[in-house]
C-alpha cells in the first residue's frame, strides 16, 4: 500500500540546524499552503495547545532505523526499538509535538515549543482536547527522563 500526503504548510523559525535540546522557547510560525484559506484556522486560538504533525525532510534515507539503537547514540542507555523512542530517523520520518498556541493571523499560526527546524513541512494540525489526553498515569523509563532533561529548557 502506498499513501500519498501533501504538506499543509511549512515551519518558519530561527532554528536552522538540527539540535537535540533547548526547544521550549522556540517560537514558530506555521504558514499554511495557499490552497488553504484562513478559514482553515478559524477558532484554533480558542485552544491553548495544538498537536503538530511534521515530516523530518532532512533525514537521509540511508540513516533510517528499523530495529533498536541507543538513543542519541549514548551507550549508557539501553538499545531501544525505534518505535519505543521519538528519534527523527524513523521509518516514515514523522514528528508529532504538542505546542502552545500563541496566536493566529490569516493563514499563519504562531506557536511555541515546536521542535522542527525552519522549512520543515507540516502535515497536520489538531487542537489538543483534554478528552484525547491520557486518562491514566503516564510512565516512562529513567533513560527517557534523563534524555529529555534539557529538551525544553
For residue 11, the surrounding DSSP H or E stretch is strand 9-12
Total number of domains in the chain: 1
Tell me what the mean pLDDT of segment 98-119 comes to. Answer: 97
Residue range of the domain that includes 120: 9-130+139-147
Measured distance CA(43)–CA(64) in Å, rounded:
37
For residue 9, the surrounding DSSP H or E stretch is strand 9-12
Does 115 have pLDDT greater than 90? yes
What is the full DSSP assignment across 22-66? --TT-EEEEEE-TTS-GGGGTTGGGSSEEEEEEE-TTS-GGG---
Give Cα 100 to chain centroid, integer Å: 12
* Average pLDDT value over all residues in the chain: 94
Give domain status of residue 153, yes or no. Answer: no
What is the full DSSP assignment across 89-152? --TT-EEEEEEEEEEEETTEEEEE-----TTPEEEEEEE--GGGS-SS-----HHHHHHTTTT-
CATH number of the domain to which 22 belongs: 2.40.30.70
Give domain status of residue 3, yes or no. Answer: no
Does 121 have pLDDT greater than 90? yes
Give domain status of residue 38, yes or no. Answer: yes
Query: Residue 17 — very low, low, confident or very high, per pLDDT cuts 50/70/90?
Result: confident
Does 66 have pLDDT greater than 80? yes
- pLDDT value of position 21: 73
- pLDDT value of position 19: 79
Q: pTM of the prediction?
A: 0.93
Amino acid at each position: 500500500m502506498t499513501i500519498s500526503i501533501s504538506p499543509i504548510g511549512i515551519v518558519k523559525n530561527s532554528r536552522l540546524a538540527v539540535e537535540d535540546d533547548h526547544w521550549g522557547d522556540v517560537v514558530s510560525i506555521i504558514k499554511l499552503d495557499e490552497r488553504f484559506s484562513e478559514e482553515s484556522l478559524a477558532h484554533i486560538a480558542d485552544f491553548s495547545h495544538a498537536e503538530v504533525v511534521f515530516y523530518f525532510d532532512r533525514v537521509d534515507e540511508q540513516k533510517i532505523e528499523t530495529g533498536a539503537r541507543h538513543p542519541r547514540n549514548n551507550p549508557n542507555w539501553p538499545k531501544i526499538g525505534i518505535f519505543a523512542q521519538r528519534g527523527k530517523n524513523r521509518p516514515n520520518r514523522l514528528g508529532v509535538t504538542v505546542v502552545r498556541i500563541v496566536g493566529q493571523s490569516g493563514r499563519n499560526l504562531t506557536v511555541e515549543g515546536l521542535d522542527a527546524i525552519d522549512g520543515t513541512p507540516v502535515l497536520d494540525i489538531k487542537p489538543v482536547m483534554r478528552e484525547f489526553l491520557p486518562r491514566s498515569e503516564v510512565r516512562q523509563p529513567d533513560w527517557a527522563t534523563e534524555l529529555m532533561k534539557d529538551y525544553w529548557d
